[in-house]
Structure 1
């Protein structure tokens, strides 16, 4: 059952992306920032940066999640992925309130991502050496 954890983490990442989209849409309405504008009220700009930061981070997160999974570490990849997701959710909440307080949440997500990089690298090298 736990070998499917990376798939669940991927689905949760998609839902997280949708949540940030929703946050930006609500902020557009609340602060009167009409598309295509991406600046205006600081509350909207925080929502926009949360969405973009999460999208940018996902581009680096998803490949290493699946590389670690493919190269033999599905359970550990899933756990590291959950750590990354927890960090990102905390990051979103923190950034929306006070962007200068985002450091610890960013650090937690970074730990999850770094674990995936290490698992991926180890798995790839091991596969290349074994054949």
Structure 2
């Protein structure tokens, strides 16, 4: 079978089923989970506390935010920092891996706009 070298430039993506080392699967796993992309987006501007994240995403429950932060930390996309003082403060910041998601989030937004416009155009036909 001939592979589109732009879509599949190497053997890791030339599979017949999802494989954990396929670059597309790696990327999808990184951003998996409801609210994940929004949490990452908010952290693109710099470190934030739990409360600051809650203020920026008011519809996100504390439980789900806690779950997403733990998952992102486990994926090495964010770093949790504890700051001395009273009371002890905690902040969350993207790692280099997390910051590497920026072009993907930008492209997802662009593609979403394109798909929405095409869908609207089709609905008018």
* Same fold flag (TM > 0.5): no
**TM-score, normalised with respect to structure 1:** 0.31
**TM-score, normalised with respect to structure 2:** 0.32
Please say which structure displays the higher CA radius of gyration.
2
Higher relative contact order (CA 8 A, sep 6+): 1
